[in-house]
Structure 1
Amino acid sequence: MNIQEVKSEKGIIAWLVEDHTVEIVNIGFAFKGGTKQDPVGKEGMAKLMAGLFIEGAGHYDSDAFQVKLDHAGAEMSLDAQSDDIYGSVCMLSKKQDAAFGLLRLALNAPRFEQGPIDRVRAEIVSRIVGSERDPNAIAQRKWLRAIYGAHPCSRLGEGTKESLPGITPSDLRAFHQAIFARDGLHIAVVGDIDANTLRERLDQLFGDLPEQQTLVPVYDVAPKLGQLVEENYDLPQTSLTLAWPGVKPSAPDFYAAVLLNDILGGSYLTSRLYEEVRQKRGLAYHVSSELTLDSLLVTTETRSDCAAQTLSIVRDVVKQMAQQGPTGAELKAAKKHLIGAYAIDQLGSTRSIADRLLDLQIHKADVDYNQRRARSIGRVTLKQVKAAAKKLLSAEPAILVVGPPLGGKDE
């Protein structure tokens, strides 16, 4: 896969993979910011703004814009996550003039009219109300408050019934102005477009945006571990989540941690957790681990009368991994899996390639990352993975239990 770095006359950079086998162009873009930028008292701002992305721009109101979008054969979406606002566009290359024109309007001239605002806000509030009796949603809110305290990470991105009604069109315009600027922008393009055409399109789309964002500083926070969070409900199944420290992609032991996670629970059917929890004891259909920027998470669901036993087994498996690390055979198998499955898992379509290229840029990877990745994984030694296991898994985890009390009695 040949990744080209394309730079426009105004200095806007995109990563491009040309693919002329199908007449489709996929574009992914991201602006630094996201739900962490929501002002206090107006939580849900970023999600509401994202929901209005195709609800009118320029001289087209909501209905007219979406009719034009259909005629152009294009799809557009925007999603606000905690640290970034992600956009995705898929268009027919033969109709790209119309699609690029509409995208330019959506990026540069959103209307933020009261009617669409009220409708999209009502949809979000309806989801919030619907989650008020959902044990897992209640537990998630409780969990975030427990491990992140008052940090913006503890807030759910959709906001609250109280915060959303206070968001005005003026608020949305100011928020858009602060976020949609060129210095916080990353772009990935995959499909039936060449570098010269893209170079011109970049300035057409993004060239009129402000040069600099005006973001509110958000300090880093590490999750507070070593605590038990329970949300007790009389449920037939208990959900368990355990959190240990995570590793950032820039850390020198990142690939050792990636391999550790694959051995522990990331490789679904061959992991240690799957072997001990599912294969040997049949306690759960699913058990897995995931490595994130700030946590290594283990999740599973089991019959409620088996929850204490399952939790004990998970902790024993992790404790053994922390003390002894993986075997040489496990490491060899994990390297083979992570290198061999990468193209299938991450690069299976033009959309997934664009998503992956965007993610690499956000995490400050070089354009030749895909070529270097296999070598970086291959160079990791057993000693390094054992060191990562001891470093990450020796901590006392934070534990979330959703279901009947583990002791079998209501408090």
Structure 2
Amino acid sequence: MLRFILVLVALAVITPARAAVDIQPVTSPGGYNAWLVEDHSIPFVALELRFKGGAALDLAGKKGASNLMVGLLEEGTGDMDARDFARAVEGLAASFEYDIYDDAVAISARFLTENRDQAVELLRGSVVEPRFDEGAIERVREQVLSVIRSDLKSPRDIASQAMSELLYGDHPYALPLNGTLDSVAALTRDDLVTAHQNLLVRDRVYISAVGDITAEELATLLDTLLGGLPAASVPLPGPAELNLPGGNQVVEFATPQSVALWAQGGIEREDPDFFPAFILDLILGGGSFESRLMEEVREKRGLTYGVYSFLADKDQAKLWMGSVSSANDRVAQAIEVIRTEWAKAAAEGVTAEELQDAKTYLTGAYPLRFDSNASIANIMVGMQMDNMPIDYMATRNDRVNAVTLEDMNRVAKRLLTPEALTFVVVGQPEGLD
């Protein structure tokens, strides 16, 4: 029990915001590369693994196989079934999490130094040698089918899927990550074994670790943990050809409140104009109550409880997106206000005061993200997948502060395309063209 309490403390510990994080690149004898931040103040390690590819690698006719496979990684390995595996992890006061996205499989591990070897052995079993028992397959399959049935009744999920189909056409991104009722019901154990071999591969893995471990110890751990993974045999999908016809696409659904998503083309992370675009999104609608869209749509007109925009950065598609919900008889007005603000920003840009306020917020909030070993490990693995330099944490705020008002207004004219702004609305909207 004491060890269990210790790991909870380690998981939740808040460390002082770090102005600079000392990241060491580590290469194991077996050729695995990782980034490490040593922190010996607590006997605890946070480890992050990312496998590039994700659900977009589902084979034709097998949609949902990758999602179901990842859901089964914690359902037993070797001579341990799902219950035995869960008990073993709990007995070590460790924590493992498995997630999947369109472009990646994410595996997170947290363990105490004293239990590191045993925890790594358990994690290796789940990653490299999962059992895929028939009983577990049927149990997890039913859980996935339940989620799919629920999504089919959710206006927001319906809107998200309709937008994906409109944007991506025949690209894998157009298909639901969870699969469909028919595709998931038809999946076999062999399909899951194939998905495992296609996704969890040695040459597409990104690794970060933070905590009570040295570079030499991490190098040994990586070869123990990941040795035996196959090389990639299925290519990543190519770029998506985006369909952005503009206008409004309506999906009729009986609900008192419509959900609207919108999209236009986005920007590559490596583009020199990324930071001005990032700041521009914050000013327009990036999750702040001070944004223009919140002011115009919510505060002035009371058309919604919330409206926001964001830069959507998929590996094979870059989008600028947003979301708003409003009563059926008011959603048309909300959409018109959003279009007006989008066009106004494109034509007039932003003010010096808006730029300074955005810089102050972004630079002040950034160090708060480094509030635990787990948070830092998660940020570092994301940096690797986005091809960011190893000193990005130390230089990020300087890049924000370097953006000028001239940059902002030039990028607003370059990137904001009101005529391509495409809305998908799910509900029974009134007065919408």
Specify if TM > 0.5. yes
C-alpha contact 1:12 1:207 (8 A) present in aligned 2: no
Cα distance in 2, alignment partners of residues 190 and 61 from structure 1 = 30
User: 1:370 offset after TM fit, Å?
Assistant: 0.7
In structure 1, which of residues 88, 99, 121 is the aligned counterpart of residue 119 of structure 2? 99
User: 1:360 offset after TM fit, Å?
Assistant: 0.6
Superposed, 1:177-326 pairs within 5 Å as 177-210=197-230, 212-225=231-244, 226-293=246-313, 294-326=318-350
In structure 2, which of residues 383, 407, 417 is the aligned counterpart of residue 384 of structure 1? 407
2:416 is the alignment partner of 1:407 = no
Q: Which amino acid aligns with 1:162?
A: D
Cα distance in 1, alignment partners of residues 393 and 151 from structure 2 = 40
Superposed, 1:327-346 pairs within 5 Å as 327-344=351-368, 346=369
User: 1:408 offset after TM fit, Å?
Assistant: 7.3
Where does structure 1 lack aligned partners over 5 or more consecutive residues?
A: none
Q: Which amino acid aligns with 2:72?
A: L
User: 1:222 offset after TM fit, Å?
Assistant: 4.0
Cα distance in 2, alignment partners of residues 267 and 384 from structure 1 = 22
Q: Which amino acid aligns with 1:111?
A: R
User: 1:207 offset after TM fit, Å?
Assistant: 2.6
Residue in structure 2 matched with residue 365 of structure 1 by the alignment: 388
C-alpha contact 1:244 1:392 (8 A) present in aligned 2: no
Q: Which amino acid aligns with 2:381?
A: L
Tell me whether 166-175 or 97-106 shows the greater mean CA deviation: 166-175
C-alpha contact 1:33 1:215 (8 A) present in aligned 2: no
TM-score by length of 1: 0.94
Name the SS of the counterpart of 2:77 in structure 1: coil
Cα distance in 2, alignment partners of residues 239 and 163 from structure 1 = 27
1:378-397 Cα distance to aligned partner (Å, 9 max, x none): 22222222122112212421
Q: Which amino acid aligns with 1:29?
A: L
User: 1:139 offset after TM fit, Å?
Assistant: 2.8
2:127 is the alignment partner of 1:127 = no
User: RMSD between aligned alpha carbons?
Assistant: 1.7
Name the SS of the counterpart of 2:76 in structure 1: coil
Tell me whether 387-396 or 112-121 shows the greater mean CA deviation: 387-396
1:186-241 Cα distance to aligned partner (Å, 9 max, x none): 0011122222211211111113323x211234121143111422122343322222
User: 1:28 offset after TM fit, Å?
Assistant: 0.9
C-alpha contact 1:69 1:102 (8 A) present in aligned 2: yes
Q: Which amino acid aligns with 2:177?
A: G
Identity %: 36
User: 1:267 offset after TM fit, Å?
Assistant: 4.9
Name the SS of the counterpart of 1:326 in structure 2: coil
Q: Which amino acid aligns with 1:156?
A: P
In structure 1, which of residues 345, 348, 354 is the aligned counterpart of residue 377 of structure 2? 354
C-alpha contact 1:13 1:187 (8 A) present in aligned 2: yes
1:322-343 Cα distance to aligned partner (Å, 9 max, x none): 0011111111111121111112
Residue in structure 1 matched with residue 18 of structure 2 by the alignment: none
Name the SS of the counterpart of 1:215 in structure 2: coil
Cα distance in 2, alignment partners of residues 258 and 131 from structure 1 = 31
Name the SS of the counterpart of 1:162 in structure 2: helix
Residue in structure 1 matched with residue 5 of structure 2 by the alignment: none
C-alpha contact 1:224 1:398 (8 A) present in aligned 2: no
Where does structure 2 lack aligned partners over 5 or more consecutive residues?
A: 1-20
Cα distance in 2, alignment partners of residues 103 and 340 from structure 1 = 37
Q: How many residues align?
A: 407
Q: 1:19 to 1:248 in 2, by over 3 A?
A: same
TM-score by length of 2: 0.90
Cα distance in 1, alignment partners of residues 70 and 143 from structure 2 = 13
Cα distance in 2, alignment partners of residues 325 and 238 from structure 1 = 30
User: 1:19 offset after TM fit, Å?
Assistant: 2.4
Tell me whether 330-339 or 153-162 shows the greater mean CA deviation: 330-339
C-alpha contact 2:160 2:261 (8 A) present in aligned 1: no
2:29 is the alignment partner of 1:5 = no
Residue in structure 2 matched with residue 165 of structure 1 by the alignment: 185
C-alpha contact 1:242 1:400 (8 A) present in aligned 2: yes
Cα distance in 1, alignment partners of residues 52 and 74 from structure 2 = 20
1:103-127 Cα distance to aligned partner (Å, 9 max, x none): 1111221111211111111110122
Q: Which amino acid aligns with 1:215?
A: V
C-alpha contact 1:139 1:230 (8 A) present in aligned 2: no
Residue in structure 2 matched with residue 396 of structure 1 by the alignment: 420
Cα distance in 1, alignment partners of residues 151 and 200 from structure 2 = 31
Name the SS of the counterpart of 1:163 in structure 2: helix
2:140 is the alignment partner of 1:116 = no
2:160 is the alignment partner of 1:140 = yes
Residue in structure 2 matched with residue 88 of structure 1 by the alignment: 108
Residue in structure 1 matched with residue 174 of structure 2 by the alignment: 154
